[in-house]
Structure 1
């Protein structure tokens, strides 16, 4: 591997009287050549404010996570030497090693960009606490490998496990279901022995499939004996879940026969706790190749989850091909030093790009449907639209000041203006193409984090407010959302969104599904207003949150610290009044990708908490067992 020409080291230090503290930077010149008139660029979720005070540097430009600094006039950096500078005036305190610079590069005087190596944020003046062990030593009271745990079990431990579970007789559809779970298993555990056979095998055990009309769609029953296993089901989904349970039991017995066993007697009666058992993936902040997306869907199927919420657009990139607007996925999916969209969230000197073609989308949707998962697409509007507005100038009010408001992530004027008719024509075309790609009943339209004060400097928005009797940003947002809801209904779709969709008067609750993310109490308030609700609070189900308070533990922290045990024990029903519980449709994990610069980071933060959310969505409260979970979760397949 080639040594990069520059190295940037960064530290956070406390400042008395300023809780946000400051950053120290040291740039080392490893290039072998003297440089002058250069600029240093880094990206960081901990942003520098307008009130920043720099020592030995000048802040030249900032755009959200993008920061550009210059050295003092006339400064020259010789080979092997370093340039140190400090910045006081951060928008928040750094709390973990991932709160500093995520990427960096140096722009030389001739305009070329040179990559810069970078490490974790160091801590000055305080103890840098190492990351702890996050799971206790597991212990199983029943020796069976099942996750999520079924609704009801009464199983007898077997002394051995079969080579495979085989069919003597089955319908063509049943054989297809067995093979579907078989190939899912082979994709997840490519080096392990298959659990099923379509014909008898030596030292196997017969699998008898019995279709009935007495069980719910996702319900199944298993009966075990020394000679056979009987699986009773009504719908294909129940058959799939029962087969997945059998694959898990056999997998665990093979992986650790001293801890886990395959049952020789007894029964499993199983059905999910909630109808919506979802997982969200943000592919805007970081792009995931199609193979990674389908791999995640496979993992969700293994844990009997049934919703994949695909967050396809945000400020940082638009990832969904819209044939009528090719610019969205050429310009709008590309970030780089000389591109319209600047580097963000770990991008450096290299141009990064990526989007999903409509053929790829169809393949992902088909793959998910084959495994019983519904793909719910999200285009995040009206906020989080920097990528759109950077391309289409006609969607902005030219008389609105360019920095009249900023989003919580620091993007200026990033929301589609409800007073511009061209906005609705643009969205109509987008929704037309989405409707042909996604069979889902829902289209998720975001609706989150529109900055209070948005559009108030827009003459066109002021005129609309006067005409329609609207009040403030959220009155405008409600007007926008109601029009979007009608557009979706005309295309046979229902509106899903984040909880802020209810602001300013909201939209019609009929057919609408809102996700409570800001805190658990929001879900109850939404249900009282008549909305169907999915609980996905950041304090329990956001899988990008840090898992411990230790400085060296990676992740975000705005929602607090979310250890696996908290994700596992959190009860979405919480204080929901009994009469409102029918409004609670289920739960969802959210994978926001600001911190996920590699598969290793992804796997460290997502697992085992994704397994915890899966069990919370399926298993009754009285079936949970934390130590049993801790014994099984480390075996989870990873991305």
Structure 2
């Protein structure tokens, strides 16, 4: 790959404004002079005061998109540079990913040229090596199981079987379960020795399946002896989890025989701590192809997580094909300099798109179902709807003043208007297609981060408030979400949403599941109001958060610094009163992708914190051990 002809350096310094100053230097590395151009960069550290700009003219901003032009007459010959600075920032920069994520030039003929971008430098911060986030760990029992089982009373042998194989006469469904576990292992570890065989093998060990109806659906029990292993279960889920544990044990022993061993006797009795053990993935900010999504689901199954929460729409793109509205996945996914949606968060001169067809969704849902993973889809409404409104502009109140409100991410007028009646026809058709694609009882409707002040400049919204006797943004949101819940109920689905669904009067608590993300205390408040709750606080379970204070650590920092040890130690039940604990249905990791510009960034931020959350979801509090976890987690697969 040839180096870019233009390069952008960026530095943050603490002086120059309440949140410091960003200084940019554009270097012309081409052979020709550069004149009459505009510079665009994308950054989560946004300019909110257009006048606080030195040696450049601020032209426009849309969320994270910023456009500038140099002083009149500026010409850069090869090797020369242009430096300008901006203050009036929305926040203080703290980490290397707080600067420009992408950039391009628009030339005088209207063409666009990519600009390479360096990581942000932070003035006054020492570029020390990143801290060690994961200790070597230590083991009391040399077994490679993750998440750690509820009860283990087994002891290690000196050797290990080559493979495990079903005893003669094993029923067909158990043989299929072995094949499923084997295929999962092959996909995750294609170069490793397979743990199972469907036929008897020399130096192997027999595996006997025992159906035991008294066990819970996701429970299993393993009994080890020198000649045979018995796997007891009552349902497909428990059987597959037992096979996964056996695969982990054998794989760990084979990969690190001096550290891990295989049980020769004793029992493992296991079942999950929580029923909802989830992982969320935002594919709106950064698109993941179908095979990536399937691999993530494989990893969830390996970690005994049972919910894949698929965040399919946001301001940046609408990723789910809706045949009734093809514009959503043509206009509503295309970002680029001359496209309906402007570049955001890592996009440059080249247009980007990407969506999931009905066929893609069916394939992914079937893949997950075979592994005991439920796919819960999310379309984020009424806020976070820029892509939908760009694709379907008739859903806006045409008399509403432009830029009458902005979301916390900086998007103007980005929420579906509760007073525009065609909105409900639109959502009805969307839900009709979703219930055909997703068998989950739940459809997640977002409901988060509607800016206070939304719709108040809309004549239609003002008429609606007068007619309904309500006032304010959140009363309008409650009106909207109550209608949405009625629509879902009519289609046999339950409503899931973020904790702000409860604002302004909320919705009926019956058949509603809310996710507490803003802070842990919110979960207790929701439970007091009668909602079922999944705990996913940013301060522990948001995997886009930075893991250390060091400036070169990638990630967001609004919820603080979240090292793996903190994620592991966090107890989601927290201060839940005893009488409210039955309202807490489980825990969930959230993968928001503003900072995930590469697979390396993804893996650095998600692992080992995703396995840490998996253990918190499965293992009883008394059974958790950070040193043991650290010793085992290095065996975990990555994306």
Query: Taking structure 1 as the reference length, what is the TM-score of the superposition?
Result: 0.99
Q: Which residue number in structure 1 is paired with residue 19 of structure 2?
A: 20
Return the offset for 1:604: 0.2
Q: Distance in 2 between matches of 1:549 and 1:541?
A: 17
**1:591-622 per-position Cα deviation (integer Å, ceiling 9, x unaligned):** 00101111100000000000000000000001
Equivalent residue for 2:343?
343
Unpaired runs of 5+ residues, structure 2, are: none
Q: How do 1:438-477 residues align onto structure 2 when only pairs under 5 Å count? A: 438-477=438-477
CA deviation after TM superposition for structure 1 residue 19, in Å: 4.0
Are residue 352 (structure 1) and residue 329 (structure 2) matched? Answer: no
SS of the residue aligned with 1:191?
coil
- Could you tell me how far 1:125 is from its partner in structure 2? 2.9
Q: Which runs of 4+ in 1 moved over 3 A?
A: none
Q: Which residue of 1 aligns with 2:173?
A: 173
SS at match of 1:62: strand
**CA distance in 2 between partners of 1:331 and 1:391 (Å):** 5
1:40 offset after TM fit, Å?
A: 0.6
**Contact 2:49–2:87, Cα closer than 8 Å, also in 1:** no
Match of 2:263 in 1: 263
Alpha carbons 1:167, 1:207 under 8 Å: kept? yes
**Contact 2:125-2:551 at 8 Å conserved across structures:** no
Q: Report 1:57-72 matches (<5 A).
A: 57-72=56-71
Partner of 1:635 in structure 2?
A: 635
- Residue 365 (structure 1) shift: 0.4
User: SS state of the match for residue 295, structure 2?
Assistant: helix
| Deviation sequence 1:356-413 (CA, Å, 0-9, x none) | 0000000000000000011000000000000011122211111111110000000000
Match of 2:253 in 1: 253
1:51 Cα deviation (Å)? 4.8
1:415-454 alignment, distance < 5 Å: 415-454=415-454
Look up the SS of the partner of 1:284 in the other structure. Answer: coil
Q: Deviations over 1:449-472 (max 9, x none)?
A: 000000011111111111101120
Question: 2:308 corresponds to which residue?
Answer: 308
SS of 2:87 mapped into structure 1: strand
Task: Report the more deviating stretch, 7-16 or 337-346.
Answer: 7-16
Residue of structure 1 in register with 2:589 after alignment? 589
Aligned to 1:111: 110
Shift of the alpha carbon at 1:218?
0.5
**Cα distance change of structure 1 residues 59 and 51 upon mapping to structure 2, 3 Å threshold:** closer
Aligned equivalent of 1:124: 123
Tell me the alpha carbon deviations over residues 540-580 of structure 1, each in whole angstroms, 9 at most, x when there is no partner: 00000000011111100011110000110100100001110
Separation in structure 1 between the aligned mates of residue 113 and residue 393 of structure 2, nearest angstrom = 32
| Root-mean-square deviation (Å) | 0.8
Q: Counterpart of 1:140?
A: 139
Q: What residue in structure 1 maps to residue 209 of structure 2?
A: 209
Determine if contact 1:57/1:85 at 8 Å carries over to the other structure.
Answer: yes
For 1:393 and 1:143, the matched residues in 2 are separated by 60
Aligned partner of 1:487 in structure 2 is 487
Unaligned runs of 5+ in 1: none
Question: 2:325 aligns to what SS in structure 1?
Answer: coil
Matches within 5 A, 1:265-414: 265-414=265-414
Question: Could you tell me which residue of structure 1 aligns to residue 77 of structure 2?
Answer: 78
1-structure distance, mates of 2:283, 2:125? 36
SS in 2 for 1:196: coil
Number of aligned pairs?
638
Contact 2:94–2:122 under 8 Å retained in 1: no
Instruction: Tell me, yes or no, if the aligned pair for 1:189 and 1:637 is still in contact at 8 Å.
Output: yes
1:130 shift after superposition: 3.3
- How far the C-alpha of 1:119 sits from its partner, in A, is 1.3
